Amino acid sequence: MRYTTIIPVLVILASITPTSAADNVPPATLPRYGLDLKVDVDGHRVAVSQTIRWTNTSRVAATKVVLNVHSHFPPPNNFVDYLFLAKMLEILRVPGSQGLYQHNPFVLKRAWMPGARETDERVAVAARFDDAMPTALEVVIPRPVGPGESISFGLDFEFDLPQKQGRWGQWKGVTFLSNWHPVVAFHDDTGWHPTPFVAWHQPFFNEAGEYEVRVRIPSDQVPVGSAVIARNADIGGGVREVVFEPTTARDFSFFCSNRFREFVAEKPVAGVTIKCIAFAEHEFYAKAIVGISSRALERYTQWFGRYPTREFRFVESYFGWNGNECSNLVMIDERVFSMPEYAEGYVEYLVSHETCHQWFYNVIGTDGYRETFMDEAFATFFAHKHLNALRGQNNKFLDFPKGLRWLPNIERENYRYSTFFNTLGRGELGPTVQEMEKYKHVGNLFSAVYDRGSKIVGLVEDRMGETAFLDFMRTIYRKYYFRVIRVDDFRRELEEYTGRSWDDFFKEWIRSNRMADWSVDGVEIQPLSGKPTLLPASIRDVFGTAPAGPVRAVVYVKQSAEQNEPTTIGFSFDGDGEKFTLRVPVRPGSSRMRMTDPPGSIDTLPDGRIRVEIELPQAPTQIAVDPDLVIPDSNPGNNYWKTRVKFRATPLYTFIDESALTTPFDRWTIIAGPWTYGPSYADAWYLRSNVLGARIGAFRSEVFTGGFYTGYRSDYRDIAVGFDGLFANPLMPKTELGIHGETSVLKLGNDSTQLDRLTVWHRYIFDETASLYNAPIRHAEVFGSYQHDFLPEARQRIAGSQVFDSLTQVGAHFHADYLTPYWDPEIGFRYDATYAAGLPVFGQSQTTHQFYQDISGVQKLPDSLGWLKYTRVAGHLWGAATTERDAMLFTLGGTNRFRGYDLKERQGSLVWGASVEWRVPVLRDRQDDILDHTAGLRNLYLVPFYDIGDAYVSGRSYGPVAHAVGVGLRADVTVFSFIERATLRLDLAKTIGQSAPLQFWFGLSHPF
């Protein structure tokens, strides 16, 4: 039994338009563009002459023509704007200096109109960029263009190629131009609708155009563009002329490089030749991409209709995010080609998504700025649908070599929801349709549009049934072939097709951010015979409760979030309870329903719960509400009768095992194994130690992370046992509640300490970090902590000083980290402030007050300084003080303090320190990867540094102010191409003029 809406046959017949797929033709009134490009690769400049013929298809006269020139986007001109965009690039693991430029690349030379006769001189016309929207170019025309009338004009401009990664520019020998040239803005009866540029997504909204393009490039360059190349010939003087066949496209992208090589599919698919133009060394993924895209293109052709031209291409380029749809072409980032070969499952997902954009973006145009739902949600939904059919639900992205299959894997559905539940938990889930800036950043947009949006497309399919839905999508493709579809058009088409109103659906799901939360609230199973008998031994009756033979099941389900949506209850009878062979529809609020096969009834109870009573041939192994997870559900974990838990034993347990990417999004994961831990930052209460040992942990994405452990603490040379726990959003959104405790159980050396400690903290997160290992960018927290033996025994003491065996504190801490990029900062600052009161409990003799402040900053040297621009200067200033002037509560030395001392030197009630270092790359921009690109070195720095500081007890200094010089080796490494980046550190420091031994410090990330 499967619940679907039955579409009356008549409605289907009525909606079929008399055209067939072969008749798909673009509207005759599309704008016509001629582009003539002279690309000076070495001079970083393109001279462009563009002609435009625009026809007014509205019912009102136009007195001007407005164009979107998104490449005229003004670069960030102040520190705050720059920092915002640099932080956005961090998500892509691209340093700001590689993606942000300082000059506006688009330089308009003149706008003109042809003279009255063909032989007449061109006439200059006024054209100006709108002050309020600097990417909207208004061309003033001499007379209004009435409905049905056309106007021709031209634009001559120069394009100053930024030497940065991105949509337009040059990087490592590739010249790239996408969404770069002026296109006529969308125009209708209400006038012009230009869209602003939003650098972190695709705010594009324009009619398709008919393109004729001619390009001149240096003769060593291999060209690729949005159309089939008709002529590609050396015309002498080191110049190559490339003429493209006329094509219909949403935009015209052009790329060239002397590094390009063409990889072509062995045979066309559905009449389309698929090519991948990539660097010769990237043959593996170039061929893989061609194959993946062939399979996807074949499926989409069946589902929607023919792809419009005979060639489709992928181009390797440098832009940071992984794939970018253009017309008749997809850009794939170089780092995707550099991924381990065992990650083809991920590339398959990416390429299937981007291929789908040829239908939803290129052919069916959308308002990318206000309604990117209309392309992204559809591309996401259909790519998953395609892969469900091809690979099964939730296939693994990583196909590890034998012997490494125990490594944490990434499954497709877990990848899909890895950020969604974080956005939801923070209370930042926006509606699926709204203006792009309102999402604030790309993470929120992904959650609302890709993740929740694609589920909504699935709801449409669920309501219509697959056959009718795909038939409907074919209708949409035909009707909107090289036109633009708006959300309101989509609703109207749905209503026309199904013959009923979809108004509520659009209000409740598409224009809102509502979620449903179905759950199983109770299950009763009774044997039908009345005599409970136990089954013979089988997997099912391990727990000894399942009666044999027919049963009566009573299931209570409830929906407790904002949005009610009809669903189904699934019954599983197989051993692992994963396949749901029997389904019963439930509809909130409906009156009593009776079923005959199998016999049963469905009632809505006065408290809103739904009670299903049903006779089953045998006891079910699992019962689930919405078993296919069709509905956007805020807590899919409670949709099951029997709580589902994934158990995982691993020979190497690390923090990667406890992440949303590597665990199921809808259930608990219990992990156990040998464990290694290293803190990536110091908390206000203390710095956790490196531990090598064993751990058993529990993880549920956006709910809890924690576990028990035992192991060797290298910082204290002892064996400890401990526990930790972190609850996500326990009391309110954007908060964390954490706990950690550990006690020393065995000393392993003369100088090991009996360090016991316990802390509880509650953190409010203003801004989340993009990193897998850093503290949130900006947060405030309160904490309580107890520590015993928290400092090693001091080497020297000032007379009258007081040693604190234990310290119990309650305090508050504020943290702001605007160093960017976080793994290897080029610019920015970081600030920490802590106040804590020490309480006279647990062996502490008096009340104390502690203050701690820490500020650091990094600045790269200016671009004008040649090679020196790659070096960075970093500074650090910190201090700690307590009101108990004889208390030895702080120590001067440490890994991110005065590096010339260890923790035993100079302990006091007042300490201060300062550092400056110069980070000089000795190896820059490397591609030295190991283990099939699993990890790789990018930059290696040699870092001379100087530290200064002192400590005091009762106002008396230990001696002269201490000075240390040192040198560090810092390796900027990538993990898994673009998944994560970090800096591995080794610092050596020697105090000047003293006998203190040479100090070595290891760590993850720069010390400040």
Phi-psi region of 862 (alpha: psi -120 to 50; beta: other; left: phi over 0): beta
Q: Give the whole-angstrom CA distance, residue 539 versus residue 955.
A: 73
Beta carbon of residue 297, minimum distance to Zn ion (angstroms, whole number)? 16
In the complex, minimum distance from the CB of residue 361 to Zn ion, in angstroms, rounded to a whole number:
8
Element holding 171 (H helix, E strand): strand 168-171
How far, in Å, CA of 366 to CA of 369, rounded? 9
Cβ atoms 555, 614 nearer than 8 A: yes
Task: Indicate the residue among 449 and 836 with the shorter CB distance to Zn ion.
Answer: 449
What is the smallest separation between the CB atom of 312 and Zn ion, expressed in angstroms?
16
| Closest approach of Zn ion to the CB of residue 359, in Å | 12
299: nearest Cα among 230, 383, 373, 224: 383
How many CB atoms lie under 10 A from the CB of residue 821? 25
Q: State in angstroms the smallest separation of the CB of 25 from Zn ion.
A: 26
Closer residue to Zn ion in complex, CB, 376/884: 376
Give the DSSP letter string of 11-73: HHHHH--S--GGG----TTS-EEEEEEEEETTTTEEEEEEEEEEE--SSS-EEEEEEE-GGGP
Q: How far is the CB of 383 from Zn ion (least distance, A)?
A: 9
Nearer to Zn ion, 376 or 902 (CB): 376
Burial 308-319 (b: 16+ CB within 10 A, else e): bbebbbbbbbbb
Task: List the one residue out of 681, 715, 691, 692 whose CA is nearest residue 789.
Answer: 715
**Which residues, in sequence order, are CB contacts of 940 under 8 Å at separation 6+?**
921, 922, 923, 926, 969, 970, 971, 972
Shortest distance, CB of residue 356 to Zn ion, whole angstroms?
8
Q: Which is nearer to Zn ion, 86 or 473 (CB)?
A: 473
Question: Smaller CB distance to Zn ion: residue 376 or 718?
Answer: 376
Which CB sits closer to Zn ion, 253 or 769?
253
- Structure tokens that stand for 624 in this block: 């689930």
In the complex, the smallest distance separating the C-beta of residue 379 from Zn ion, rounded to whole angstroms, is: 5
Helix axes 466-479, 452-464, angle to 10 degrees: 110
204 vs 260, beta carbon nearer Zn ion: 204
Contact, 986 vs 918, CB < 8 A?
Answer: no
DSSP state, residue 147: T
Compute the least distance from the CB of residue 441 to Zn ion, in Å: 17
Contacts of 871 (CB under 8 A, 6+ apart): 860, 861, 918, 919, 920, 921
CA proximity to 225, closest of 505, 48, 35, 51: 35
Strands 311-317 and 329-333 come out as parallel
**Which one, 171 or 382, has the nearer CB to Zn ion?**
382
Contacts 24+ apart (CB under 8 A), 111-119: 111/139, 111/153, 111/154, 111/155, 111/156, 112/153, 112/154, 112/155, 112/156, 113/141, 113/142, 113/151, 113/152, 113/153, 113/154, 114/152, 114/153, 114/154
End-to-end CA distance of the chain: 62
- Which position has the token pair 């999508």? 473
CA distance 70 to 404: 46
Q: Please report how close the Cβ of residue 357 comes to Zn ion at its closest, in angstroms.
A: 6
Q: Which is nearer to Zn ion, 490 or 783 (CB)?
A: 490
Residue 70 beta carbon to Zn ion: minimum distance, rounded to whole angstroms: 17
Query: Measured between alpha carbons, how far is 179 from 70 in angstroms, rounded to an integer?
Result: 7
CB closer to Zn ion, 318 vs 450: 450
Q: What is the C-alpha separation between 910 and 491, in angstroms, rounded?
A: 68
Q: Among residues 376 and 832, whose Cβ is nearest to Zn ion?
A: 376
| Shortest separation between residue 354's beta carbon and Zn ion, angstroms | 7
Are 695 and 653 spatial neighbours (Cβ–Cβ below 8 Å)? Answer: yes
Token pair 């234990």 is at which residue?
806
C-beta closer to Zn ion: residue 325 or 902: 325
Gyration radius (Cα) of the chain, Å: 32
Say how far apart CA 825 and CA 828 lie, in whole Å. Answer: 7
- Please, what is the minimum distance in Å from the beta carbon of residue 296 to Zn ion? 13
Q: Which region holds residue 825: left if phi is over 0, alpha if psi is between -120 and 50, else beta?
A: beta
Cβ-based nearer residue to Zn ion, 33 or 450: 450
Binding stretches for Zn ion (CB under 5 A): 376, 379
Nearest distance from C-beta of residue 834 to Zn ion, angstroms: 43
Q: Which is nearer to Zn ion, 457 or 880 (CB)?
A: 457
Return the number of the residue (381 or 783) whose C-beta is nearest Zn ion.
381
Q: How far is the CB of 376 from Zn ion (least distance, A)?
A: 5
Q: What is the nearest approach in angstroms of Zn ion to the Cβ of residue 899? A: 47
Q: How far apart are CA 136 and CA 341, in angstroms?
A: 43
**Tokens 């119990």 belong to which residue?**
808
Residues with Cβ within 8 Å of residue 366, at least 6 apart in sequence:
205, 360, 372, 374, 375, 484, 485, 486
Q: Find the helix packing angle between 378-391 and 344-356, rounded to 10°.
A: 130
CA dihedral 154, 160, 166, 170 (to 10 degrees): 120
Alpha-carbon gap, residue 923 to 934, rounded angstroms: 20
Give whichever of 373 and 709 is closer to Zn ion, judged by the CB atom.
373
Residue number, 339 or 445, with CB nearest to Zn ion:
445
Q: In the bound complex, what is the minimum distance in angstroms from residue 250's beta carbon to Zn ion?
A: 14
Smallest gap, in angstroms, from Cβ of residue 757 to Zn ion? 47
- Cβ distance to Zn ion smaller for residue 331 or 623: 331
